[in-house]
């Protein structure tokens, strides 16, 4: 929960970094969500639980886990340009990123993955790649996604690929995944790579020049 001495912009900027949510999408979601309405923003659900003359109360969740219940002033939400962006290089975020970077080379095994885990780094083999699927975002834009099945010596897991990452892997490739997260969708575990994550592909049949 946000401490009253922490500006809402700084708090929301850190939240967007921790949960790999684009700050512009986060601000738009907060500014447009009506009372008792719930919308998705990346992997987070945002619900306006009430309002007063000066502020609104939001419940932010990641699946079944409460991320925050926060009061945000109406004057902040009525800004014409995203006020969260002003805090993207604040000291609190720099400290968080430095701490996360210090653990960047620690690799996980698929058998260790649990719903809600973040900052996942692993190496795995691509076992299956499914055909891409087009979809419409809530803003009316057309997007594309595809599912792949990856495995290591401990197990297998579905990998969800979005946007430009679709078509980047083939069966037999070895992938190095950094800063991913685990989510459960309709009871099935999924590994997702957010904006701050990375996917490196090593081709099985690459022939040196």
Within-domain flag for 74: yes
- Same domain for 126 and 74, yes or no, is no
> What are the Cα distances from residue 141, in Å, to 22, 134, 135, 144, 163?
16, 10, 8, 10, 12
Whether residues 82 and 127 fall in one domain: no
Range of the domain at 164: 106-202
Q: Is residue 1 part of a domain?
A: no
- 86 and 152 assigned to the same domain: no
Specify if 127 maps to a domain: yes
Q: 90: which 2 tokens?
A: 């604040």
Same domain, 13 and 79: yes
Helix extents (H) in 113-152: none
Instruction: List the structure tokens of 134.
Output: 């087009």
90, 160: one domain: no
pLDDT of res. 102: 54
Over residues 76-80, the mean pLDDT reads 93
Least reliable range by pLDDT among 20-24, 39-43, 168-172, 203-207 = 203-207
Domain with residue 170: its CATH number is: 2.40.50.140
Q: Is residue 18 part of a domain?
A: yes
pLDDT tens-digit map of 25-49: 999 999 999 887 889 998 899 999 9
Mean pLDDT (the chain) is 86
* Whether pLDDT at 206 is above 50: no
- What is the pTM for the complete model shown? 0.49
Position 167 in a domain: yes
208 within a domain of the structure (yes/no): no
Q: Given the structure tokens 């922490």, which residue do they identify?
A: 6
Instruction: Judge if 66 and 14 occupy the same domain.
Output: yes
Given 68, 99, 130, the domain boundary residue is 99
Question: Using CB atoms within 10 A of its CB, is residue 84 exposed (0-12), middle (13-18) or buried (19+)?
Answer: buried
Among 57-66, 178-187, 198-207, the range scoring the smallest mean pLDDT is 198-207
Query: SS3 breakdown of the chain: % helix, strand, coil, rounded to 5?
Result: 25, 45, 35
Q: Are residues 28 and 113 in the same domain?
A: no
pLDDT for residue 209 is more than 50 = no
* Same domain assignment for residues 13 and 94: yes
pLDDT digits (tens, 9 = 90+) for 116-153: 999 899 999 999 999 999 887 776 778 888 999 999 99
Average pLDDT over residues 105-119: 86
pLDDT at 54 over 50: yes
- Whether residues 190 and 126 share a domain: the answer is yes
pLDDT over threshold 70, residue 24: yes
């Amino acid at each position: 929960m946000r401490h009253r001495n922490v500006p809402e912009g700084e708090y929301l900027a850190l939240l967007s970094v921790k949960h790999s949510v684009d700050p512009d999408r986060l601000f738009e979601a907060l500014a447009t969500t009506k009372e008792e309405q719930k919308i998705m923003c990346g992997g987070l659900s945002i619900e306006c639980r009430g309002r007063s003359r000066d502020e609104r109360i939001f419940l932010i969740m990641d699946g079944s886990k409460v991320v925050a219940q926060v009061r945000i002033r109406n004057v902040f939400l009525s800004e014409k340009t995203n006020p969260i962006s002003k805090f993207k290089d604040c000291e609190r975020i720099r400290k968080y990123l430095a701490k996360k970077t210090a653990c960047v080379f620690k690799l996980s095994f698929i058998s260790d993955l649990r719903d809600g885990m973040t900052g996942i780094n692993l190496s795995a083999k691509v076992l299956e790649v499914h055909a891409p699927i087009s979809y419409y975002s809530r803003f009316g834009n057309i997007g594309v996604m595809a599912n792949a099945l990856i495995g290591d010596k401990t197990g297998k897991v579905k990998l969800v690929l979005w946007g430009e990452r679709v078509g980047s892997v083939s069966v037999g490739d070895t992938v190095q995944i950094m800063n991913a997260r685990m989510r459960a969708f309709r009871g099935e575990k999924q590994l997702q790579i957010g904006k701050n994550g990375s996917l490196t592909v090593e081709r099985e049949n690459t022939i040196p020049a």
